[in-house]
Structure 1
Amino acid sequence: MTLSTEVEAQDWLCDDLDIDAAGMDRLSHLVALLLEENEKQNLVARGTLPHVWVRHIVDSAQLLHVSRGTLPDGPWIDLGTGAGFPGLVVAALQPERPVTLVDSRRLRTEWLQRAADALDLVNVDVVLSRVEDLPSTPHAVISARAFAPLDKLVTLSARFSTPDTLWLLPKGAGAPHELQMLPESWCHMFHVEQSLTDPDAGIIVGRLLSGSAPAQKNQARKGKRK
């Protein structure tokens, strides 16, 4: 199934994800805030705005669906969150869950904080930082939407993960290829789920059990520091 219209997207949220009226109100408010702010700064491509519910809201909310009942309780971290997708949508739908939104761009983080305040999302922590500079704190869920290729993302983010952490990584058509290219030094249980919003896109889902970045990459980095 692929959702293609705004009506289908909102119906799916209510019928399949079972979002209540309060949750839908928060999402509607988020859409209004996004449309207003996008006139001031380019949060998302203008061509996606007529399909904002499909392209951004459901594209984010579907992470709660593809986890198929395996979504662990506990803090969620969204890396390179940009305009808050998927992290801000998750926070709006699960206001009891701590959600950390990380981005290295000040204007984006200022917008995220204003949006979280406007939606009364006290569960949101907005962090202005590069991923490399974050403290090594484990999280129950890690998400990242179009932030970095999988091998780089895992290398940067493994220190936020335990064997119980669920990774939810929206990708484009290259998701299977990225998964195949992940070095064997990473022991994982990742697989690709079909996106509900793009027939050509996939979502990498699973757990990182153990491993480390390939030695040659570490050696290359050390060589550059000399």
Structure 2
Amino acid sequence: MIGTEGEARAYVAQKCDPAAMARLDRLVAALAEENERQNLVAKNSLPQVWLRHIADSAQLLEHAEAGDAPWLDLGSGAGFPGLVIAAMRPQAPVILVESRRRRIEWMERMIAELGLSGCRVEGRRLELVETFAAGVISARAFAPLERLLRLSARFSTSDTRWVLPKGRSAAQEVAELPESRRAMFHVEQSLTDAEAGIITGCGKWKGAK
């Protein structure tokens, strides 16, 4: 379990090169500044930004590596986890879905400042995003699991990896899925919060079939 800012930073450093760490440092500094203008993250989380936001996002690479097929991040908000993944894997295609104008502008500015040529923002509701085959689908505080799966099913294929941080509700949300499809997912322990889980799985979501 990662418990301190130093441990969180060291954990992330093991997963990327020095250039990526420099990008993440710039992201952290910009986040603190922007948070004075709009409430991107809880203010009391900033003293533990590496633990609460950066390492919390980076740990998803334990369960799904960014590859040639797009990494689709739903409801990216302040850019977690998608912007962190893009900063760590700048050559991989990462698509951030967000409908709130000021957050779209924030993420687009960070993409430009960090030189993330493989990353882009879909500034609209997910229902309006054109369908494509996603290699990975992630979401942090986007929607309850059943609704999340229903909305994003058209982006999934038999090879799609799902990595969905869900906090304390992870096991319960999986248990509430239709029994015939429940086995597609399981819950992994978060490395940054002893009480949180990450729902992981692989495959195309076909609902209750």
TM (normalized to structure 1)?
Answer: 0.88
| Residues in 2 aligned to 1:168 and 1:162: alpha-carbon distance in whole angstroms | 14
| Residues in 1 aligned to 2:115 and 2:49: alpha-carbon distance in whole angstroms | 22
Change in 2 beyond 3 A, CA 1:101/1:47: same
Change in 2 beyond 3 A, CA 1:210/1:176: same
TM (normalized to structure 2)?
Answer: 0.95
- Determine if the alignment matches structure 1 residue 25 to structure 2 residue 44: no
- Matched-pair contact (CA < 8 Å) for 1:71–1:166: no
- Say what the alpha-carbon RMSD is for the aligned residues: 1.6
- Matched-pair contact (CA < 8 Å) for 1:78–1:102: yes
Larger Rg: 1
Q: Which residue of 2 aligns with 1:11?
A: 10
Q: How does 1:1-226 map to 2 (within 5 A)?
A: 2-15=1-14, 17=15, 19-67=16-64, 73-184=68-179, 186=181, 189-212=184-207
| Residues in 2 aligned to 1:58 and 1:134: alpha-carbon distance in whole angstroms | 28
- Matched-pair contact (CA < 8 Å) for 2:74–2:96: yes
What runs of 5+ residues in structure 2 fail to find an aligned partner?
A: none
Displacement after TM superposition at 1:178 (Å): 0.3
Aligned length: 209
Identity percentage of aligned residues = 55
Q: Give per-residue Cα distances to partners, 1:172-207, cap 9 Å, x unaligned.
A: 111001001012354752111100110000001112
| Residues in 2 aligned to 1:71 and 1:96: alpha-carbon distance in whole angstroms | 9
| Residues in 2 aligned to 1:71 and 1:27: alpha-carbon distance in whole angstroms | 17
- Matched-pair contact (CA < 8 Å) for 2:66–2:92: no
Which amino acid in structure 2 is aligned with residue 180 of structure 1? A
Q: Give per-residue Cα distances to partners, 1:29-82, cap 9 Å, x unaligned.
A: 110111111011000000100000000000000000134xx7654211100000
Change in 2 beyond 3 A, CA 1:158/1:113: same
Which amino acid in structure 2 is aligned with residue 13 of structure 1? V
Change in 2 beyond 3 A, CA 1:71/1:100: closer
- Matched-pair contact (CA < 8 Å) for 1:189–1:209: no
| Residues in 1 aligned to 2:51 and 2:108: alpha-carbon distance in whole angstroms | 23
Displacement after TM superposition at 1:20 (Å): 1.5
| Residues in 2 aligned to 1:115 and 1:72: alpha-carbon distance in whole angstroms | 21
Which amino acid in structure 1 is aligned with residue 90 of structure 2? P
| Residues in 1 aligned to 2:91 and 2:140: alpha-carbon distance in whole angstroms | 22
Change in 2 beyond 3 A, CA 1:116/1:209: closer
Q: Which residue of 2 aligns with 1:218?
A: none
| Residues in 1 aligned to 2:181 and 2:203: alpha-carbon distance in whole angstroms | 7
Q: Which residue of 2 aligns with 1:223?
A: none
| Residues in 2 aligned to 1:121 and 1:5: alpha-carbon distance in whole angstroms | 28
What runs of 5+ residues in structure 1 fail to find an aligned partner?
A: 215-226
Displacement after TM superposition at 1:138 (Å): 1.3
Which amino acid in structure 2 is aligned with residue 54 of structure 1? L
